[in-house]
Amino acid sequence: MTRAPRLLRWLLGQCAPRADRADFLDDIDEGYARRHQAQGRVTAWRWLAMQCLTSPWPMLRLRLVRQAGDAAAPSRDHLLHDLADDVRLALRLARRNRLTTTAVVVTMVLGVAVTTAVFSVVNGVLLRPLAFRESDRVMQFGATMRSGDSTMQISWPDFQDFRREARAFGDVAAASLSGVALTHGDAPQHVLAGNVDAAYPRVFSTSMQLGRYFADDELRAGGRHVVILTDALWTRAFGRAPDVVGRSISIGGDPHEVVGVLAADAYLWPSASIELLAPLVVLPGTFQENRGASWLYAAGKASSGTSLATARRAVTAIDARLIQSYPDAKAGLAVWVAPLRDMVVGDVRSMLILLSAAVAALLLIVCVNVANVLLVQSSARSREFALRTALGGSRMRLRRQLLTEGLLLSIVGGAVGVALAPTLTRVFVALYPGTLPRGGEARVDVTVLLVAFGCTLLAGVLSAMPTMRSAGRAVGQDLTSGGRSSAGLRERHLARGLLVAQVALSLTLLFSAGLLVQTFQQVSATAPGFRSSGLLSFHVSPSRVSHPDAAALARFYRSVVEAVESIPGVTHVATSNEVPFSGYARFDVFVPVERGDRGSDNPQVRIGTVSADYFTTLGLPVLKGRGFARTDADSAPRVVVINEALRRRYYADVDPVGRMISYDRGAPWQIVGVVGSARMRGLTQPEEPELYVPDAQLPGRSRYVMARVAMTPSQVVPQVRAALAQLDPMLPMTEVATVEERMERDLAPQRYRASLVGSLGTVALLLVTLGIYGVVAYGVTRQAREIGIRMALGERRGQVWGRVVGGAIQVAVIGVALGLGLSLAMERWLASVVVGVRPDDPITLGAVSFGLVVVAAAAAAGPARRATRVDPATALRAE
């Protein structure tokens, strides 16, 4: 006869009361066989699956009812009753051993709270889908540059080609970011605007809470000036006034009509901090139309049923064709797509994975530590176990008792840990330098609670397991030997094994921390190429109304420079379109006249529009020729300065000074000098080729002002503010920060990683120390008699000490060996988070290994000293 599949059958059998089990399984077999015969395998399976879903619960209830009914009769299955007994006993025990209980619970709280908090951040940031409909189908375009770095921007012609040719995408949206001065009420303010196209609401499933989205004619060049407010800006600047639609507001001095307000939950792209939407208008005949200029964010929504792989292939295929057609403009610029979520999360990903691994290791260490404490405690109870076994208690029952004890402690610890987790989560997010992308979405939700619950149970089981294993075995002899001599040996072996694991995990954790600290040091020691100390920077964007044309702007910037220069303590002042580590950069095509203009296929270069004193103010050395002078004014011959990185790339063998270039398709410009390169994007970023143009010959709508100050830069801020207010009371002075502060902000992620993993490593080290101390101290107490005998037989105190400490060192060395293997196995993965350090750095590995062995020896030294004080006579008499 056909029988039901064995595993399901067995599972069902487990639910049935013992008395009915055989009948029940026969019934299952019969039902399965009959269906199998009459209706085929599928129906039989379906029926069986149905039974597996519906039968266990009533059967289990029947089983419990039976047991309750039979309570008077002796039974092996008093599950509930036993559980109550176990819990009672565990509670009594926990009360009696207050110190152990406290230690275990505190350790558990630590483990569960940190794990839960980190997981809730990981969950919110990495795992949960973005908060808009069908977000999993949205992919963002990006490009890999020649330097190997990635950019999230592509060029306008590329975007058009992808939109036209990539059938994998239903809609492709493009956007750019711009900072604008919004004048509303009394104080002008600087807000980030997203310039978006018609596809934006379709790709991001955006809806409006007031008004409408941009009409087609408003999205064309020369259309009406219109904007859409985000919920945040509507609240902040307009107090949620319902009549805001139709109002005219001043942006950069121009009146713009508000046509709508985005829904409160609208997904903001390309940056979460945009507060305003404006139409994306590509001006014909500007750099924007150049294929070499990557300035546009693009995101596509894949047609339903299109996989990421298909979309990727489609984009790569189109890009390959484009690279063939435009080899120069697209030299080393390969376009790809990635899920939007991955792009939003970006750099944090590796950090969060690292953190999760570190926390998992810490949780394991916590479990091992608790396991050790319980093990040591249980070996003191070996007589109790022996007695219970001798009186007929089953081993199963004993193990269940121990499991209950472990679980009880872990559940108490876990509950407190989970209670602390939301606070800790907020701390993690708040500690993150700048804004953690999606950080606001990190919270303790059902998934997190489930994981925390899982961790707690796992911790309870894991920590009770060694005790259960050892308590189940050969309990008999303890009764006669009184738990004195060799009985503790097994537990001690097990405890040592656990210590080895602990040391190995801590080594890996400490090694990672060591690498991260070194990375931080390396990065902060990187020379940026300019003098970062004593530099104050801020941003101004004069309105179109008071400064309508280039000449007015140039005059205004000059007056700002002069006004700031006259402040005591300020030595140099410069204006430019960029400031170190601001993230803002302008790119344009660069055409050495010798090469000739290749139309839309020209290489691109970073453009700095700077005032005469820029190089002096920033401290960039002039390597060849000259820097700019105040005489390089509008009417003077057009001149540029290039940096060393640009010289290396295009003028490696020739002297660039005196050569002509063109970059804006106008009359050529002459190179008059070469200055040192600077890391403008960040200390971990490479020096970019850059072309400097005199500000006076190309003034722009907004400028950074940098001032070199002889004292602490922040001291002059009030005077600067006053000076600016005198020049233009309506001008917002934004992004006020010293360049050192900007540098700190740039370094902050490295510091965050290093300090977080470092503190986890410290906690791990502390736990290891406690673990070793506990096990050794307990071993010494248990071995007092042996030590006494040995000393009576002539062993010297030094030998006793050496043996105890040697034992600990031995454990540490084995653990270190394992940990070294583990760390080296992680090498490839660590490589992605370290900079300037080898991911298998032998010095760090050596130092951490040695440190752990020393810590182990130190932790054992105290108990070892106690061992040498054992008085042989007392120890022997005590028997």
Partner 1 sequence: MAKGDLLGEFELYVLAAVQQLDGEAYGITIADEIERRTARVASLGSVYATVERLADKGFVAFHVGDAQPERGGRARKCSRITPAGRRALVASVRAFDRMVDGLPVRPAATPRR
Question: What minimum distance in Å lies between the beta carbon of 32 and partner 1?
Answer: 9
- Phi and psi for 256 in degrees, rounded to 5? -125, 140
Q: Per the omega criterion (within 30 degrees of 0), is the bond before 872 cis?
A: no
CB contact at 8 A, 294 and 589: no
Question: What minimum distance in Å lies between the beta carbon of 21 and partner 1?
Answer: 11
Task: List the one residue from 8, 13, 45, 62 that touches partner 1 (CB under 8 A).
Answer: 62
- Dihedral sign (CA 835, 840, 843, 844): positive
Applying CB under 8 A, does 51 fall inside the site for partner 1? yes
Question: What minimum distance in Å lies between the beta carbon of 69 and partner 1?
Answer: 9
Nearest of 611, 605, 601 to residue 572 by alpha carbon: 611
Distance CA 679, CA 329 (A): 24
Give whichever of 10 and 850 is closer to partner 1, judged by the CB atom.
10
With a CB cutoff of 8 Å and minimum separation 6, the contacts of 220 are 281
The span of 49-57, 284-292, 401-409, 799-807 binding partner 1 (CB under 8 A) equals 49-57
Give whichever of 16 and 510 is closer to partner 1, judged by the CB atom.
16
CA–centroid distance for 429 within its chain: 10
Distance CA 598, CA 589 (A): 10
Task: List the one residue from 2, 3, 5, 22 that touches partner 1 (CB under 8 A).
Answer: 22
**Scanning residues 63 to 122, which ones bind partner 1 (CB under 8 A)?**
65
Give the angle 646-335-321 at the CA atoms, nearest 5°.
Answer: 105
Which pair of tokens denotes residue 357?
Answer: 């691994």
The span of 51-59, 336-344, 552-560, 666-674 binding partner 1 (CB under 8 A) equals 51-59
The residue whose two tokens read 């009985």 is: 487
The count of C-alpha atoms lying within 13 angstroms of the C-alpha of 310, restricted to the half-sphere facing its C-beta, is: 12
Distance CA 685, CA 558 (A): 32
Helix/strand/coil for 625 = strand
Question: What minimum distance in Å lies between the beta carbon of 13 and partner 1?
Answer: 12
With a CB cutoff of 8 Å and minimum separation 6, the contacts of 243 are none
**Scanning residues 468 to 507, which ones bind partner 1 (CB under 8 A)?**
none
Give whichever of 23 and 149 is closer to partner 1, judged by the CB atom.
23
Question: What minimum distance in Å lies between the beta carbon of 31 and partner 1?
Answer: 5
Applying CB under 8 A, does 55 fall inside the site for partner 1? yes
CB contact at 8 A, 162 and 315: yes
Task: List the one residue from 40, 58, 327, 476 that touches partner 1 (CB under 8 A).
Answer: 58
Question: What minimum distance in Å lies between the beta carbon of 58 and partner 1?
Answer: 4
Distance CA 167, CA 665 (A): 35
Task: List the one residue from 18, 26, 240, 427 that touches partner 1 (CB under 8 A).
Answer: 26
Give the interface size with partner 1 as a residue count (CB under 8 A): 25
Distance CA 860, CA 863 (A): 6
The span of 27-35, 653-661, 738-746, 777-785 binding partner 1 (CB under 8 A) equals 27-35
Question: What minimum distance in Å lies between the beta carbon of 15 and partner 1?
Answer: 7
Applying CB under 8 A, does 41 fall inside the site for partner 1? no
Applying CB under 8 A, does 44 fall inside the site for partner 1? no
Task: List the one residue from 8, 13, 20, 250 that touches partner 1 (CB under 8 A).
Answer: 20
Give whichever of 29 and 257 is closer to partner 1, judged by the CB atom.
29
Helix/strand/coil for 462 = helix
Task: List the one residue from 15, 504, 804, 808 that touches partner 1 (CB under 8 A).
Answer: 15
Question: What minimum distance in Å lies between the beta carbon of 12 and partner 1?
Answer: 8
CA-based max dimension of the chain: 110
Applying CB under 8 A, does 220 fall inside the site for partner 1? no
CA 511 vs CA 231, 270, 365, 702: distances in Å: 46, 37, 15, 47
Question: What minimum distance in Å lies between the beta carbon of 54 and partner 1?
Answer: 3
Question: What minimum distance in Å lies between the beta carbon of 40 and partner 1?
Answer: 16
Applying CB under 8 A, does 61 fall inside the site for partner 1? yes
Give whichever of 11 and 317 is closer to partner 1, judged by the CB atom.
11
Question: What minimum distance in Å lies between the beta carbon of 42 and partner 1?
Answer: 14
Task: List the one residue from 4, 9, 24, 306 that touches partner 1 (CB under 8 A).
Answer: 24
Give whichever of 18 and 595 is closer to partner 1, judged by the CB atom.
18
Give whichever of 60 and 281 is closer to partner 1, judged by the CB atom.
60
CA–centroid distance for 550 within its chain: 44
Give whichever of 59 and 554 is closer to partner 1, judged by the CB atom.
59
- Amino acid 585 reads A
Helix/strand/coil for 762 = helix
Give whichever of 1 and 446 is closer to partner 1, judged by the CB atom.
1
CB contact at 8 A, 775 and 781: no
* Sequential DSSP letters for 627-650: ---TT--TTSPPEEEEEHHHHHHH
Applying CB under 8 A, does 130 fall inside the site for partner 1? no
Task: List the one residue from 31, 211, 497, 686 that touches partner 1 (CB under 8 A).
Answer: 31
Give whichever of 45 and 584 is closer to partner 1, judged by the CB atom.
45
Task: List the one residue from 10, 18, 41, 57 that touches partner 1 (CB under 8 A).
Answer: 57
Task: Measure CA of the first residue to CA of the last residue in the chain; give whole Å.
Answer: 66
Give whichever of 13 and 625 is closer to partner 1, judged by the CB atom.
13
Applying CB under 8 A, does 13 fall inside the site for partner 1? no
Distance CA 227, CA 195 (A): 9
Applying CB under 8 A, does 426 fall inside the site for partner 1? no
With a CB cutoff of 8 Å and minimum separation 6, the contacts of 652 are none
The span of 60-68, 231-239, 610-618, 855-863 binding partner 1 (CB under 8 A) equals 60-68
Give whichever of 64 and 550 is closer to partner 1, judged by the CB atom.
64
Q: Within 10 A of 699 (CB to CB), how many other CB atoms are there?
A: 25
Distance CA 753, CA 758 (A): 8
Question: What minimum distance in Å lies between the beta carbon of 74 and partner 1?
Answer: 21
Give whichever of 22 and 711 is closer to partner 1, judged by the CB atom.
22
Give whichever of 54 and 715 is closer to partner 1, judged by the CB atom.
54
Question: What minimum distance in Å lies between the beta carbon of 93 and partner 1?
Answer: 37
CB contact at 8 A, 602 and 328: yes
CB contact at 8 A, 480 and 814: no
Give whichever of 28 and 376 is closer to partner 1, judged by the CB atom.
28
Distance CA 638, CA 640 (A): 7
Q: What share of the chain is helix, strand, coil (3-state, %, to 5)?
A: 55, 15, 30
CA–centroid distance for 308 within its chain: 23
Distance CA 30, CA 24 (A): 10
Task: List the one residue from 4, 44, 47, 110 that touches partner 1 (CB under 8 A).
Answer: 47
Question: What minimum distance in Å lies between the beta carbon of 4 and partner 1?
Answer: 11
Encode 437-452 in three state secondary structure: CCHHHCCCCHHHHHHH
Give whichever of 49 and 320 is closer to partner 1, judged by the CB atom.
49
- Dihedral sign (CA 150, 155, 157, 159): positive
Task: List the one residue from 4, 44, 59, 816 that touches partner 1 (CB under 8 A).
Answer: 59
**By the criterion CB under 8 A, which residues form the site for partner 1?**
1, 15-16, 20, 22-24, 26-28, 30-31, 34, 47, 50-51, 54-59, 61-62, 65
